[in-house]
Structure 1
Amino acid sequence: MRILHVLDHGLPLQSGYTFRTRAILKAQQARGWQVAAVTGPRYQPGGVAVEHIDGIDFHRTPALAKLPPVLTELHEIHAFSRRVAQVADAFQPDIIHAHSPVIDALAAMRVARARRTPLVYEIRAFWEDAAVGNGTGTEGSLRYKAIRALETWAVRRADAVSVICEGLRRDLVSRGIPAEKIMVSPNGVDLSLFGEPPAPDLALAESLGIANAEVIGFIGSFYDYEGLDDLIAAMPMLVAQRPAAHLVLVGGGPMEAALRAQAEASPVARHIHFVGRVPHGEVERYYSLIDVLAYPRKDMRLTDLVTPLKPLEAMAQRRLVAASNVGGHRELIRDGETGTLFAAGDPAAIAAALAGLLADRGSWEARRVRGRAFVESERNWAVNVGRYEPVYRKLTGGGVSPGSWLRPPVSA
């Protein structure tokens, strides 16, 4: 089996998107399948045509000059499609597997139609909702509706669709997409990357001023939807109950300046520590210091539909997890068993949940064991990747109906 993956971006960039991609491709290679990847024109790691990283060939699409809105996207689709076609001519894939955003599916669709190669479209989040989540879009706007309609059109014409969670599957079914066309390939982790948790880095703890502290931590990107402002707002109430509690925030992003200003104005400012971005190889040192990983995502369409990767990575490393009770978290966390859930957008509820967890140290080890066992049995990529095989086999054995590509997009 030869699978060509069409991606927005890839390694060596470090992100949840690239970690999932790497896990899928490495697990497919471990099954004996041949894989290659093409990344889009928006991602330029250095101007090279091909990079061989971690045993995977990443073919790059040249950068493009900026044009007015809409024309830019059309130009990108055309150029990306041309690059995918070049790689497909050399690689001769049995399956073209495009990953969101929808612009990738549209570029891959042209090539799949021309080659009569089956197309699988994998959706990790809806592009229009992701734009709302990161502050570059508005729900219900004309652009939002147009992208949603285009997404629906692309899903209807792909030969099979993969989504990362039940929330996305239910949304597509509500749009009239046949349920049997959609497979769920949930977020998972490559357990080969996670050995025994490292011993606490005492020197690092001393340097941060958190030696002997009860440490709440967040490691990731600082987007508004992550709810870190609610977590900072909870800290005075948490410290009132647990005077040794400290918050460590590792990462950066659009909300960083606002969050730093909020923390500086907090009456417990000395209990809140910003580390900034750190090299990926250094992240484990910070994990070693954190007692509870907190994920206080806000309640909105994006977080209700999409499951994040970070809580699974934390469980794989036998860390305690506390998160808001949005839909994406409820698919991952069993309250009181593998983690703790609290009301989204409610600093008092966050403080109460964290205080209760910090006070119940006797339950920690059992929760860590259950969290790790959940990942091993249900969210391990060595197992998860097998979900693709029956879809791939059906498509390569049954062929493609070319008529499905020919109808123009309609509003949804």
Structure 2
Amino acid sequence: MTVAPSSCESLRIALFSGNYNYVRDGANQSLNRLVGYLLRQGAQVRVYAPTVETPAFEPTGDLVSLPSFAIPGRAEYHVASGINRRVRRDLDAFQPNIVHISSPDPAAHRAVSWARERGLPILASVHTRFETYPRYYNLAFLEPILEALLRRFYRRCDALVAPSESMAQVLREQRMNYDISIWSRGVDREMFNPQRRDMEWRRSIGLGDDEVVIGFFSRLVMEKGLDVFSDAIDELRAKNVPYRVLVVGDGPARDWFENRLPEATFTGFLGGTDLARAVASMDVLFFPSITETFGNVTLEAMACGLPVVAAAATGSESLVDDRVTGRLIRPGAIHQYADALHTYVTDPALRRRHGDAGEARSLEFSWDRINQAVADTYLRLVRAKARKRA
């Protein structure tokens, strides 16, 4: 009779990721935090992902390189193209008792087949709304096809985890799977908090003490809503109220964004305490992206005491309480975005009240509690497979 595991020490997890550490973003940083937590709980974890010569940061845990190729036009990202004999030998030697898939790429498809052949449970985590990407490249007609391909992939998995209830509901409506639970995101409160605000730093980049700073921080790619951001700022300018725009981040769309917003201040990429200082030194976050499944950016801004103007879309809807911690605006509604920004620019008491409420909300997001929810899901799936084999 097979004994069902009851603790993390019994877990042997093979984690497949399309980007674990070669480009820094919220999804791969969450995966690294998860692996670090699992290792501290006594689990064994092996990560399989593409690698590059100069990654953005050191990986947490053991990382096995997957064969990959650079995406045409977006060379900073790689597609894991499959599982070769070297990787299969490593998998066979590691002998995982569960497989975790975090990106629906060709290697993940092969990993799912490998796991199903061996009767291993498969958990997939959903980190972005891939099916929405084509609309930002004038290819919206591909969305139904991409959604159907994703559905076929996710239904071959035993369960999914999504970072927010709003995203989980979208996945249910799309019939991606019938076992969907929440793997939320946490925030490092020692890093992101209002005390990081630094007026001297603001002055050093040309921002006056009395100027209201509308901030944006993220990878600078079109799918983050850069066009909507720019159009709303144009409308705000027409209202003749004083404000400044601060953009933190880098990416392939930076030149486009700088040309579109010539009066904005661009810092380029910032990380660690430099990023936290920049965020806390903003006065309001404007983040109109609709591709987020959670919104790490939104939570980090809230932890710094900023009101947030965001799209009423997956991720933000689970974080922002409309007219309490910020504003949720219908995606693409330029006039409404501009009106919300105008209100915050001209009402400092409202900014402070909504910012304080957002900071209080951010206290609910503890990384250890959140990552234990994933460990509990692993254990549940492994136990279910063990019962079937018994």
TM range (shorter): 0.7 to 0.9
2:15 to 5, 9, 15: 5
2:52 to 41, 44, 47: 44
Matched, 1:118 2:105: no
Alignment partner, residue 140 of structure 2: 139
Alignment partner, residue 182 of structure 1: 180
Please list, as runs of the form range in 1=range in 2, the aligned pairs for 1:314-393 lying within 5 A after superposition: 314-377=301-364, 379-393=365-379
Mark the CA change 1:293 to 1:145 in structure 2 (over 3 Å): closer, same or farther: closer
The one-letter amino acid paired with 2:304 is Q
Mark the CA change 1:31 to 1:174 in structure 2 (over 3 Å): closer, same or farther: same
1:15 to 25, 39, 43: 25
Contact 2:66 2:83 in 1 (8 A): no
Contact 2:197 2:278 in 1 (8 A): no
Q: How far apart, CA to CA, are the structure 1 residues paired with 2:79 and 2:49?
A: 16
Mark the CA change 1:243 to 1:105 in structure 2 (over 3 Å): closer, same or farther: same
Pairwise CA distance, 1:217 = 0.8
Contact 2:68 2:79 in 1 (8 A): no
Alignment partner, residue 297 of structure 1: 289
Pairwise CA distance, 1:311 = 0.1
Mark the CA change 1:374 to 1:176 in structure 2 (over 3 Å): closer, same or farther: same
Alignment partner, residue 407 of structure 1: none
The one-letter amino acid paired with 1:44 is V
The one-letter amino acid paired with 1:372 is E
Q: How far apart, CA to CA, are the structure 1 residues paired with 2:235 and 2:71?
A: 48
Please list, as runs of the form range in 1=range in 2, the aligned pairs for 1:11-410 lying within 5 A after superposition: 11=21, 13-40=23-50, 43-46=51-54, 53=58, 55-63=60-68, 76-79=81-84, 82=85, 84-130=87-133, 132=134, 135=137, 138-141=139-142, 144-176=143-175, 179=178, 181-191=179-189, 193-194=191-192, 197-235=195-233, 237-239=235-237, 243-264=241-262, 269=263, 272-278=264-270, 282-297=274-289, 302=291, 306-377=293-364, 379-399=365-385
Alignment partner, residue 8 of structure 2: none
The one-letter amino acid paired with 1:7 is S
In structure 1, stretches of 5+ residues that fail to align are 68-72, 403-412
Q: How far apart, CA to CA, are the structure 2 residues paired with 1:4 and 1:205?
A: 48
Mark the CA change 1:78 to 1:66 in structure 2 (over 3 Å): closer, same or farther: farther
SS in structure 2 of the partner of residue 208 of structure 1: coil
SS in structure 2 of the partner of residue 252 of structure 1: coil
In structure 2, stretches of 5+ residues that fail to align are 1-10, 73-77
SS in structure 1 of the partner of residue 82 of structure 2: helix
Pairwise CA distance, 1:235 = 3.5
Pairwise CA distance, 1:275 = 2.8
Identity of aligned residues (%): 23
Measured against aligned partners, the alpha-carbon deviations of 1:280-339 in whole angstroms (never above 9, x if no partner) come to 5532332232111111236xxx46xx3322101211233332213334422221012222
Pairwise CA distance, 1:207 = 3.0
Measured against aligned partners, the alpha-carbon deviations of 1:70-107 in whole angstroms (never above 9, x if no partner) come to xxx9992243xx45433333433222111123434313
Contact 1:61 1:83 in 2 (8 A): no
Mark the CA change 1:382 to 1:400 in structure 2 (over 3 Å): closer, same or farther: same
Mark the CA change 1:63 to 1:155 in structure 2 (over 3 Å): closer, same or farther: closer
The one-letter amino acid paired with 2:162 is V
SS in structure 1 of the partner of residue 161 of structure 2: strand
Q: How far apart, CA to CA, are the structure 1 residues paired with 2:320 and 2:28?
A: 23
Mark the CA change 1:401 to 1:255 in structure 2 (over 3 Å): closer, same or farther: farther
Mark the CA change 1:174 to 1:213 in structure 2 (over 3 Å): closer, same or farther: closer
Mark the CA change 1:83 to 1:391 in structure 2 (over 3 Å): closer, same or farther: farther
Mark the CA change 1:117 to 1:236 in structure 2 (over 3 Å): closer, same or farther: closer
The one-letter amino acid paired with 1:139 is A
The one-letter amino acid paired with 1:169 is A
SS in structure 2 of the partner of residue 77 of structure 1: coil
Alignment partner, residue 408 of structure 1: none
Mark the CA change 1:320 to 1:401 in structure 2 (over 3 Å): closer, same or farther: same
The one-letter amino acid paired with 1:165 is S
* TM-score normalised according to structure 1 size: 0.77
Contact 1:250 1:275 in 2 (8 A): yes
The one-letter amino acid paired with 1:250 is V
Q: How far apart, CA to CA, are the structure 1 residues paired with 2:146 and 2:232?
A: 36
Mark the CA change 1:45 to 1:201 in structure 2 (over 3 Å): closer, same or farther: farther
